Chains A and B, each alone.
Chain A
């Protein structure tokens, strides 16, 4: 199955109108994607007039693991500690869809040919939708990097975009995954520790507010995302339900010889239309609502990570202060303590400044994205409700 980039454009979960430096100097897009057995191969195309690159237009083929590698490289880079690292795209997951197609293929003799064809059509559409979404997610990740004044200049990014060969980045093996998992636990424990430390005072109201806000926001948006997913699933379920009903009504219609014939056929037709409608409503809600919520859930997590890093830096700064005081009293290793303290101070301030900017960007990005998606959602819902064709008189 091939996914085309144009299709990907409609499905962007966040508005990529973020083009701060008025930039056509670096344009990245996923121009093509191919799904093979277990993996998806993305063709990343770059157009750039930056002097760094050998050509102005070039493309490479990348897989999901290489995106993750790039993301981790950013996260581990101290230089970017004060920035919100765009969340990594989720792993392409066709498992559920594939399973359903397989089950359908195994055959249920009680369903008719038409029903089978329709169900197959539905599943294929689902598969295609998942495919398009994963392309969009990967693309958005790259485009945000390309748009960010600091992040776009990363060496690894250039390598990712340009290096023609395979990056030889294997997926994380079990040990590494476990390690990552443990690191997360340690991080949250650390965060809890730091925040409960009595000595640590948040000096800046802005950050105090942001922290409370983000904590609550993240939880709630996660909730909303989960529930939006369930609504979408219900819509899909309903669409699936309409298939056997429509078929049964049609066969009832063929059996009748009286006026009921037309009634049954009309009702069958209506259910067929409703099926398509529900399917579209489900996929639109998925894209405009669920995906958007999911993206901002991850983005707000990234923002929370930033705040954590800053807090960590503050804690380090405090510790360095204490160490300095101790060194001064003991009059030992004062110089090291001093330089350390200065380092920490500078780091903390650097982080604070960039974090402030980042968080404000996050907010404006969020607001414009929600606006765009909510408007589009409403317009699509209206289109479906009107164009559903149930306005026709049926008698």
Chain B
């Protein structure tokens, strides 16, 4: 990497920055964490200069010229922080996103530590921990629980309200532990807001759980049977996982909508999430249009990484789907086994009752008991099969769909850039024509248009590069998370299988002497 540089003077105005830093240290880490791990992306050289020049901080653009130098990252980051206030609107495509250099977080820290001025280390230390935590996948100290499903209202207007409890030590929240009541459409509303803000810039926004008309209708109608309790439990668990995933995303965690969702006691009702609403229909139309467009975009892929990754995700998607289908069959059959075992247990008990040889009769009753216990085991195992294995797979199938969506957005971004370039070319041609035809006013107009489109082309290129960078980082984070998730679940699932076997041993060992006692 480049030689070490003097850190930017932390003199003027810096203390305020630090305060802001303290409050928004999360912002800092989030900015830092938008670092990209792969050094092969094109350099948005012009970007930071403009960015900084709009800053009233008086920093000279030259000092912030970006290259692979780590120091500049910090400089840039501090700049960014001062720009930001906690209420700042999150990154939108129209604004230049925080500049990032292709540097991995951990390598950042080393040079920093040595060459700092006094007040800096404190902040950087903290941020270093958080950065390292980030790198290790251990995220910020925030835990979400979704519990206590409660039916509110009656008849077809009824709905389930869930308690969302947040426990956190993050300072951006006013309290360290709090809870609110939310309904399913609130979750969908949150997702829809986050998606509209972040998806098209390349962030992988975790998808919300799916709607289920059948399931909800049963609950509304008030059927208190096991299938509707199962449905509610399945949904509760899914909502919990959804929120956990969302808060573990460093950028999304900063979002005010998310914070509002977690904290405020009253939330405006999200009506646009209803399938048959105007917004719902609009969504469906857009989706169809997107699908058509996707087929017509022929992107000139200059970066093999993206093609490779897309292919990878495509393969992964197919295989997860296959596996998921098989696991669903497994769950179903295990439930059947459980039911059949219970039925057999009953008939064995009846047989034991009929049997007039006392010792045999007792042994048969014991057999019936063993079979009943085994039935319990099967039920528990089916439960584990489902909640650990099957739901993980379906979550990831939907997550991968989100990843694919993000890649698609990149394509659209490219298309926009391409289109701008084509238009610029056309405008230049028009200008040339006007020159020849010698129409001074038209020439001026053409020149204006050319300037306008030049800017758009530059913007398009910047956006494209930005989204590419973001995606690379996001995919890296996603993969790390995926590996961790799967590994954890696989281990837990294996343990459940082992446990089942051990229980079986216990039961049969208890039965054996009874069988031997038949005289």
Chain A residues near B (Cβ < 8 Å): 213, 216-217, 220-221, 223-224, 227-228, 230-231, 233-235, 237-238, 241-242, 244-245, 248-249, 251-252, 255, 258-260, 263-264, 266-267, 270, 274, 363, 366-367, 370-371, 374-375, 377-379, 381-382, 385-386, 388, 390-391, 394-395
Contacts and interface: CB of A to CB of B under 8 A. Distances in A.
Given A223-B350, A382-B509, A259 B483 contact: yes
Given A251-B319, A270-B497, A382-B508, A238 B351 contact: no
Contacts of A251: 319
Given A263-B486, A386-B505, A394-B491, 9 more contacts: A220-B354, A223-B351, A227-B340, A241-B329, A260-B483, A266-B490, A270-B497, A370-B364, A390-B494
B497 A274 contact: yes
B45 to A, nearest CB: 33
A224 B350 contact: yes
A238 B340 CA distance: 13
Contacts of B337: 231, 234-235, 237-238
A224 B487 contact: no
A224 B348 contact: yes
B439 interface: no
Nearest to B493: A267
A241 B363 CA distance: 33
Interface residues of B, number: 55
Nearest to A228: B344
Interface stretch (B115-123, B236-244, B510-518): B510-518
| Interface-centre pick from B334, B344, B505 (highest chain A CB count, 10 A) | B344
B429 interface: no
A220 B347 contact: yes
B501 A391 contact: yes
Contact of A395 (B334, B350, B363, B491): B491
B333 A255 contact: no
A395 B489 CA distance: 12
For chain A, what secondary structure do more than half of its interface residues adopt (helix, strand, loop), or is it mixed? Answer: helix
A390 B486 contact: no
B344 A227 contact: yes
Contacts of A223: 347, 350-351
Interface stretch (B246-254, B261-269, B277-285, B320-328): B320-328
B512 A216 contact: no
Interface string B310-323: 00100110011011
B491 to A, nearest CB: 6
B333 A238 contact: yes
A204 B184 CA distance: 73
A248 B329 CA distance: 14
Contacts of B494: 266-267, 270, 390, 394
Interface string B459-502: 00000000000000000000100110011001101100110011
B326 A244 contact: yes
